């Protein structure tokens, strides 16, 4: 891949001459008209919108190691490009400007684009698991449980729309992000369905930036088993979970992928769907199965794994 990046840069230098290469604005305009491959796109982001070209060119120290590292991290954070690939692009721009030689850097392997479903990325001050990638956006969930707090402070009937957890995530928690990161977080129309196993209504649809997953979403994005939709229930009997029409547990071979930790230890985490009553809410257990009957909304040990859609 490094050779491909170098070749793109060398081609532009050959085609447009030193004058065009010396002016990042002209260089970027020419790049925008030549999106032939993903490599062209990477180079365009680096030289143009990120303006790394000018920042390297104007470096007073001419000691590129610190600048390359800093710009690589920025490219990874801003555009979700693999950190290794970002480093290769920045290094190649430095080579083009004559500040480094091709032998100064080792080859770094990586995929061209992030996020990828099943992978992790850094966004804001947190690490996130990538649950889905659609055109122009990605669904993320925090890799770890970020904190423990009640879904709602008192034992009462409450929907996701009315919960204090929703208010907290879309206000205090959201405000922890920088302005540039906030601009990447999309508004998401949430369907708050009834609990299919107990018939408890989930309340009105909501428009949120930050949320937690529903029972449907947890089943879909962690294995897509269809067990929740098709009411493949289980209950605990004689030391194991067995199928039962009156069971309260969703458990399958994907349980391990749903386990999340808080301060290094496995902990339960909230799901926004109601449980067996409107005073309870579903959750994922410490072993990754999902008690659809839920627990009281007011318990303080419920783990919070925020989810959000971001622009990519």
Question: Phi/psi zone of residue 185: left (φ > 0), alpha (ψ -120 to 50 degrees), beta?
Answer: beta
Helices first, then strands: H and E counts in the chain: 10, 17
Decide if pLDDT at 66 tops 60: no
- pLDDT tens profile 243-285: 999 999 999 999 999 999 999 999 999 999 999 999 999 999 9
Tell me what the mean pLDDT of segment 128-141 comes to.
92
Q: What is the pLDDT, as a whole number, of residue 31?
A: 61
Decide if pLDDT at 165 tops 90: yes
Tell me what the mean pLDDT of segment 123-138 comes to.
90
- Residues 6 or more apart from 15 whose CB is under 8 A from it? none
Strand extents, DSSP E, the chain? 120-123, 126-134, 137-142, 147-148, 188-190, 206-208, 234-237, 240-243, 249-250, 260-262, 265-267, 269-274, 280-284, 290-291, 295-296, 303-304, 307-311
Tell me whether residue 58 is exposed, middle or buried, using C-beta atoms within 10 angstroms of its C-beta: 0 to 12, 13 to 18, 19 or more: exposed
- pLDDT tens profile 225-240: 999 999 999 998 888 8
Q: Are 161 and 192 in contact (CB under 8 A)?
A: yes
């Amino acid at each position: 891949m490094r050779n491909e990046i170098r070749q793109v840069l060398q081609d532009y230098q050959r085609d447009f001459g030193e004058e065009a290469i010396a002016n990042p604005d002209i260089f970027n305009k020419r790049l925008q008209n030549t999106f032939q491959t993903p490599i062209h796109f990477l180079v365009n982001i680096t030289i143009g919108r990120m303006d790394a070209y000018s920042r390297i060119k104007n470096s007073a120290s001419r000691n590129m190691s610190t600048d390359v590292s800093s710009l690589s991290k920025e490219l990874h954070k801003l555009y979700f490009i693999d950190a290794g690939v970002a480093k290769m692009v920045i290094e190649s721009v430095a080579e083009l400007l004559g500040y480094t030689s091709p032998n100064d850097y080792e080859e770094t392997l990586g995929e061209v684009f992030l996020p990828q479903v099943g992978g992790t990325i850094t966004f804001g001050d947190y690490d996130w698991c990538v649950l889905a990638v659609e055109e122009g956006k990605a669904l993320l969930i925090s890799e770890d449980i970020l904190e423990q707090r009640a879904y709602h402070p008192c034992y009462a009937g409450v929907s996701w729309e009315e919960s204090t957890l929703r208010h907290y995530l879309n206000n205090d928690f959201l405000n922890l992000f920088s302005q540039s990161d906030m601009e990447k977080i999309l508004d998401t129309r949430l369907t708050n369905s009834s609990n299919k196993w107990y018939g408890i209504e989930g309340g009105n649809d909501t428009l949120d930036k930050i949320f937690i997953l529903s029972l449907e979403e947890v089943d879909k994005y962690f294995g897509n088993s269809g067990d929740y939709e098709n009411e493949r229930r289980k209950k605990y009997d004689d030391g194991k979970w067995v199928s039962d029409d009156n069971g309260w547990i969703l458990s399958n071979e994907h349980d391990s992928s749903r386990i999340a930790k808080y301060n290094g230890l496995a902990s339960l985490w909230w799901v926004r769907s109601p449980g067996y009553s409107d005073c309870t809410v579903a959750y994922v257990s410490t072993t990754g199965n999902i008690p659809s009957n839920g627990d009281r909304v007011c318990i303080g040990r419920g783990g919070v794994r925020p989810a959000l859609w971001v622009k990519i």
